[in-house]
Amino acid sequence: MPNLTQKLLSAHCDKDTVYPGDLIQAKVDLVLGNDITTPLALREFFAAGFRRVFDPERIVLVQDHFVPSKDIKSAEQSMMVRQFAREYRITHHFDVGSAGIEHALLPERGLVVPGDLVIGADSHTCTYGALGAFATGIGSTDMAAAMAIGEVWLRVPEVMKVVLTGNRSRWVSGKDIMLAIIGRIGTDGARYMSMEFQGPLVAELSIDERMTISNMAIEAGAKAGIFQPDEVTMEYLKHRAKRPPRLYTSDADAIYQEELVMDVTGMEPVVALPHSPDNVRQISEVGEIPIDQVVIGSCTNGRYSDLEMAARVLRGKKVNPNVRLIVIPATQQVYLDAMRAGLLEVFIEAGGVISPPTCGPCLGGYMGILGPGERAVATTNRNFVGRMGHAKSEVILASPFVAAASAVMGRVAAPWEVAS
């Protein structure tokens, strides 16, 4: 009767099964850190007296938030990560020129496979649940301990079964589906739960869309967001996976603490208005909201298919003169693929600017900080007060389709207003 979450976690703590509420000491497959969280973890690592890592091939360090360095402080943080990676011979250290946004980079490089337990000092580590892994964010102190001993303690979460069903329209993407779910249950509706996404619609979702959905499980308060591996998963991994996958699925009579059915039939594209991901409206309900900036990118929607969606709307169009369009490919490979396919040309001819891969403005870092009173439409994951800059700025979360249309119209707009 165990569900996917129970099977994944029990396999990593040598127990026949585990139950919600159990405290377990679990062996990890990957430990992830970035240029912001790794320096904090290193201070704890050395303060605790650790002098070696459990496995230099199972630690992944990605410089993706403030690189190329935006100021002296970020340069010092990156230097600390580089020095540690060299000294401890960390196999997977991704820096300028090879890096990209961590949660797009690891799946692209085949570093996460089904059946893994992945922990990362970044809340959106839950992205890898799209591949059938149990992946969750941790603090930098837990990262330090995991780098040394290869284990982490977890409380086994309750599980919410999310059944995706219905027929979606051409402009509805994985981003819209997840925003609609968060709008229904709230930002604490799945607090410390594992969300298992099932149902007939799943087979129609690309891996990119599944990653978008799993990525934003944390915005519903969840510990993890997981899809069972299927043919789509295995096709994605065929030429990527660095290790053999371990395939787990929920039993037919598995027990769940909650069940949510999301029927997408008749759904329009949706947006999340300030200042919460659960402040959701269908696009036809939004009204006239002028904007100053559009950001297309992030660990949520910066993959090739996301840029392709935006280009489909922007091709042959011009960005409104009152709007700044910033496009951020999530990885170097996405950048190359978009360049070779002519997508970057579409964005530049429309009046947009292309950034190197970075988290950048998503967390108020750089490459598009908002000033007081400014408003952005972004394909990012959070729109809290001050998230992208000044405390009096605003962020509206949307899909690449809506973001691109909004850049053209100079206001929050539906894609069918711009593209046929």
| Residue located via tokens 């002028």 | 290
36 SS3 class = coil
Residue 352 — φ and ψ, nearest 5°? Answer: -95, 170
pLDDT band at 1 (very low <50, low <70, confident <90, very high): confident
Q: Once rounded to an integer, what is the mean pLDDT over residues 4-13?
A: 97
Q: Once rounded to an integer, what is the mean pLDDT over residues 334-355?
A: 98
Which tokens in the block code for residue 356?
């190197």
Q: What is the pLDDT of residue 14?
A: 85
Q: What is the pLDDT of residue 167?
A: 95
170-179 pLDDT tens trace: 999 999 999 9
pLDDT band at 249 (very low <50, low <70, confident <90, very high): very high
pLDDT band at 86 (very low <50, low <70, confident <90, very high): very high
User: How many angstroms separate the CA atoms of 217 and 181, rounded?
Assistant: 9
In the 8-state DSSP scheme, what is residue 356?
P
Torsion of CA 143, 145, 150, 154, to 10 degrees: -70
Task: Indicate the helix (H) or strand (E) that contains 161.
Answer: strand 158-165
Predicted TM-score (pTM) of this structure? 0.96
Q: Once rounded to an integer, what is the mean pLDDT over residues 74-94?
A: 96
Q: Which CATH superfamily is domain 4-243+256-262 in?
A: Aconitase, domain 3 (3.30.499.10)
pLDDT band at 57 (very low <50, low <70, confident <90, very high): very high
> Which string of DSSP letters, residue by residue, matches 47-84?
HTT--S-S-TTSEEEE--SSTTT-SHHHHHHHHHHHHH
User: How many angstroms separate the CA atoms of 381 and 193, rounded?
Assistant: 19
Q: What is the pLDDT of residue 361?
A: 94
281-304 pLDDT tens trace: 999 999 999 999 999 999 999 999
Instruction: Provide the terminal-to-terminal Cα distance of the chain, rounded to the nearest Å.
Output: 48
Nearest CA among 227, 132, 213 for reference residue 172: 213
| Residue located via tokens 């990156």 | 78
Domain assignments of the chain as residue spans, ordered by start: 4-243+256-262, 271-417
Q: Once rounded to an integer, what is the mean pLDDT over residues 149-164?
A: 97
Q: What is the pLDDT of residue 91?
A: 97
User: For 271-417, CATH number?
Assistant: 3.30.499.10
Q: What is the pLDDT of residue 420?
A: 81
Domain 4-243+256-262 and domain 271-417 have a common topology = yes
90-137 pLDDT tens trace: 999 999 999 999 999 999 999 999 999 999 999 999 999 999 999 999
The answer to whether 324 and 294 have CB atoms below 8 angstroms apart is yes
> pLDDT averaged over the chain?
96
Q: Once rounded to an integer, what is the mean pLDDT over residues 8-20?
A: 94
Q: What is the pLDDT of residue 96?
A: 94
- Alpha carbon of residue 365 to chain centroid: 17
